[in-house]
Amino acid sequence: MPNPKRKHTRSRRDLRRSANSKLEAVNFVECSNCGAARLPHNVCPKCGFYDGKMVTEVKVKKAKTQEEAK
């Protein structure tokens, strides 16, 4: 069996491994109800609609009152 004569450097190894990877842009589609950008096949995070129906209620972030912060 032929064998490599010398060990490749970490740099050379990592360059080879990184050559086949690249960042891919996330795909967004427009929500049919509110028009916000959402991921395909996912419930809209803004209005909670999916396939034209209300699926989940969107939680509204509570603003911390001063009494809660104490």
- Interface residues with Zn ion (CB under 5 A) are 31, 33-34, 36, 44, 46-47
Identify the three-state secondary structure at position 29: strand
Question: Is 15 or 36 the residue whose CB approaches Zn ion more closely?
Answer: 36
Given the complex with Zn ion, which of 15 and 32 has the nearer CB atom?
A: 32
Minimum CB separation of residue 32 from Zn ion in Å reads 8
Instruction: Give the separation between CA 33 and CA 29, rounded to whole angstroms.
Output: 12
CA distance 32 to 57: 16
Nearer to Zn ion, 15 or 54 (CB): 54
Q: Closest Cα to residue 60, out of 69, 49, 70, 47?
A: 47
What's the closest the beta carbon of residue 27 comes to Zn ion, in angstroms?
Answer: 16
